[in-house]
Amino acid sequence: MTAADRSPQPLLVTVSEAAGLLGIARSHLYLHLQSGSLPSVRIGRCRRVSMSDLDDFIASHREDVDQESSQAVLTPGLPIGPGRR
């Protein structure tokens, strides 16, 4: 595979694309954007999320397998799933 065969990774993705990459609902992603736990970029009326910020967001929410507790670390004030409040 040559460099010409690979398409470059975009620097910014839409909110819908970011939600799809994370496997969460778009509305849930907006909660993270509003809380500031995931930064975004505004270009005119459009909101975009940088791929590097997505990587940082994933790293900050990664669970440590060696923890004594098996409970996930949750961001306060954000829903934890369907039907759970």
Per-position pLDDT tens, the chain of length 85:
565 567 788 899 999 999 999 999 999 999 999 999 999 999 999 999 999 999 999 999 888 665 555 555 555 566 555 554 4
HEC letters along the chain: CCCCCCCCCCCEEEHHHHHHHHCCCHHHHHHHHHHCCCCCEEECCEEEEEHHHHHHHHHHCCCCCCCCCCCCCCCCCCCCCCCCC
- Look at residue 51 in the predicted model and tell me its pLDDT: 96
Domain that holds residue 34: 12-59
Residue 35 lies in a domain: yes
Predicted local distance difference test score (pLDDT) of residue 63: 81
pLDDT score for 74: 56
pTM summary value: 0.67
Domain harbouring 33, CATH code: 1.10.10
